[in-house]
């Protein structure tokens, strides 16, 4: 008999397991598959393309649409979107899984014992009503917003994790307390009590085994709920692993965005949705990854439910030691994971596409490159690492502009706060000492390589009269025959501020 959509189907059940294992593989090994890196040195700042306004071939700035070099395109910073999404899988799915697991570890014992004994039912029900009546965003966002001024990025992630866990515990505990109470009223439970079984023995030996399928379905449902909550928080610029500010100057007025550094999926969806009319690929790739993960989890939950509700399927199932197809599938997946660990690199190449890198004018990475960001919450980048990353990104864009077009370099200069009564105009011509720098780069055939030591710089008074406390940044310039020169940039030392270039030290 041909299976209907509501009956168990072996091929659909195997497909559900295969898709679930694909998600697991992305979480643990997705960052090994990145075609490009996601450090500032890996940005594609310029690329040859057709100007939609004139129809002529010229150097264009990101974002770039999908191509053979970048299958899902790039974002406004020039990062490859596929690389960001592959790296962000462990943040989005891993964080949601651990948050859901901790919820169940805290809620399950209390809910089972409360339902079996009747103790604490009022407290659990009250907390469930209070926390279910108000959307989780109302609890989470104001707390994080108010504590952002005095918490480090590490502490913010810990607080976010704790709040997501605590908000979900009463609801799960109440759900399993009701189910535990239902089973506790069965006759076989009364018989166990009559024979002297303890409450603990009744819960773990008689009630919990009957609730295992319900426990698994509830876990998958709550897992999906946490994923949606992460997506909602991303719309409010609350996402995992930290972010950076970036100014988008597609048209007046410029817009400052807060973008993810690690490719967390929810933040990429929220960012891409703002530009769905002009740059559709920004939200398309992230939306497919996020929606695909949710659909895979729902599909697996549905197929598992059909399997468990089919007595014939469970009766025909063989033990693991006798199930050859299952052993082959587990062995194949284990071999694939082992091959990923042994054969794939630990990180993406700095520039895999040489032609794209040369077109963008990106400098070769210096040996003393900035450290990569860790995937663990306890090893998120420090403030010094964030500052170095911002300085490196702005310096890369600035020197690319000095080499190709001054108007691009001028976009990285510090500008005053918006004032409708006083319009600030970006310098049309190179200002000192950068005019000297441009001449030296052409005369000596020098190219920017990387930034070096960062120290406190002087207080510089800007053209609009505001003093700025700067950081003195060493800049490494490379020329023919491995000749190296060290120049000095003065950059705005205030963290998470766009356009950090203030001035420079004249060359001797």
Give residue-wise pLDDT tens across range 378-418. Answer: 334 556 777 787 788 888 888 888 888 888 888 888 876 65
pLDDT in tens, 14-26: 899 889 989 998 9
Tell me how many domains the chain contains: 2
223: in domain: yes
Q: Are residues 441 and 310 in the same domain?
A: no
374: in domain: no
Please state, as a whole number, how many other Cβ atoms lie within 10 Å of the Cβ of residue 327.
Answer: 12
Q: Are residues 337 and 430 in the same domain?
A: no
39: in domain: yes
For residue 503 the two structure tokens come to 């001035």
383: in domain: no
In 278-288, which positions are buried (b, 16+ CB within 10 angstroms) versus exposed (e)? Answer: ebebbbbbbbe
236: in domain: yes
290: in domain: yes
Q: Are residues 64 and 190 in the same domain?
A: yes
Provide the CATH number for the domain around residue 226. Answer: 1.10.3720.10
Predicted pLDDT of residue 497:
65
Domain of 300 in residue numbering reads as: 10-315+326-341
Predicted pLDDT of residue 52:
63
Q: Are residues 48 and 170 in the same domain?
A: yes
147: in domain: yes
CA atoms within 13 A of residue 476's CA, in its CB half-sphere: 18
Q: Are residues 25 and 155 in the same domain?
A: yes
Omega of the bond leading into 433 within 30 degrees of 0 (cis): yes
Predicted pLDDT of residue 248:
73
Q: Which among 75, 79, 70 has a CA at the least distance from the CA of 44?
A: 79
Residues of the chain under the 50 pLDDT cut:
1, 320-321, 348-380
Let me know: does 148 contact 138? Beta carbons within 8 Å.
no
Q: Are residues 334 and 434 in the same domain?
A: no
DSSP 256-324: EEEEESS--HHHHHHHHHTTTTT-THHHHHHHHHHHHHHHHHHHHHHHHHHHHT-HHHHHHPPPGGG-H
Q: Are residues 26 and 171 in the same domain?
A: yes
500: in domain: no
Predicted pLDDT of residue 449:
84
Predicted pLDDT of residue 312:
57
Predicted pLDDT of residue 394:
84
Q: Are residues 157 and 33 in the same domain?
A: yes
Q: Are residues 29 and 124 in the same domain?
A: yes
Q: Are residues 486 and 337 in the same domain?
A: no
Q: Are residues 152 and 284 in the same domain?
A: yes
Quote the CA–CA distance of 242 and 125 in Å, as a whole number. 36
Q: Are residues 337 and 408 in the same domain?
A: no
């Amino acid at each position: 008999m041909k299976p209907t959509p509501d009956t168990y189907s072996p091929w659909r059940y195997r497909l559900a397991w295969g898709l679930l294992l694909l998600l697991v593989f992305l979480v643990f090994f997705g960052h090994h598959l990145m075609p490009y890196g996601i450090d500032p040195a890996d940005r594609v700042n310029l690329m040859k393309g057709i100007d939609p306004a004139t129809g002529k071939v010229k150097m264009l700035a990101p974002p770039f649409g999908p191509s053979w070099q970048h299958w899902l395109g790039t974002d406004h910073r020039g990062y490859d979107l596929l690389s960001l999404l592959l790296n962000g899988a462990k943040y989005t799915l891993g964080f949601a899984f651990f948050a859901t697991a901790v919820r169940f570890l805290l809620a399950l014992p209390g809910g089972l014992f409360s339902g079996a004994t009747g103790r604490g039912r009022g407290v659990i029900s009250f907390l469930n009503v209070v926390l279910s009546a108000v959307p989780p965003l109302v609890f989470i966002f104001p707390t994080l917003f108010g504590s952002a001024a005095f918490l480090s990025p590490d502490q913010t992630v810990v607080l976010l994790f704790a709040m997501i866990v605590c908000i979900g515990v009463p609801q799960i505990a109440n759900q399993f307390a009701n189910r535990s109470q239902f089973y506790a009223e069965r006759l076989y439970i009364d018989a166990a009590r009559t024979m002297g079984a303890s409450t603990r023995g009744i819960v773990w030996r008689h009630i919990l085994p009957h609730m295992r399928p319900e426990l698994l379905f509830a876990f998958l449902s709550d897992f999906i709920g946490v994923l949606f909550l992460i997506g909602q928080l991303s719309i409010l610029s609350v996402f995992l692993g930290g972010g950076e500010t970036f100014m988008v100057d597609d048209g007046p007025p410029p817009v400052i965005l807060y973008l993810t550094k690690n490719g967390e999926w929810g933040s990429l969806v929220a960012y891409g949705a703002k530009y769905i009319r002009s740059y559709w690929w920004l939200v398309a790739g992230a939306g497919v990854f996020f929606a695909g993960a949710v659909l895979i989890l729902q599909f697996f939950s549905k197929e598992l439910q059909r399997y468990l509700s089919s007595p014939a399927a469970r009766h025909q199932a063989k033990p693991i030691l006798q199930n050859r197809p299952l052993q082959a599938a587990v062995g194949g997946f284990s071999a694939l994971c082992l091959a990923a660990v042994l054969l794939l690199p630990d990180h993406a190449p700095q520039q895999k596409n040489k032609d794209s890198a040369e077109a963008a004018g990106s400098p070769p990475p210096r040996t003393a490159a900035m450290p990569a960001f860790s995937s663990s919450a306890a090893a998120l980048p420090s403030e010094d690492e964030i500052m170095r990353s911002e300085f490196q990104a702005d310096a890369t864009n600035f020197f690319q502009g000095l080499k190709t077009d001054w108007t691009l370099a001028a976009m990285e200069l510090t500008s005053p706060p918006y004032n409708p009564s006083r319009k600030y105009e970006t310098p049309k011509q190179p200002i000192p000492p950068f005019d000297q720098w441009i001449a030296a780069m052409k005369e000596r055939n020098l190219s920017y390589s990387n930034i070096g030591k960062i120290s406190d710089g002087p207080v510089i008074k800007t053209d609009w009269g505001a003093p700025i406390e700067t950081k003195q940044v060493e800049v490494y310039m490379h020329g023919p025959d491995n000749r190296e020169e060290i120049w000095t940039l003065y950059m705005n030392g205030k963290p998470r501020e766009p356009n950090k270039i203030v001035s420079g030290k004249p060359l001797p």
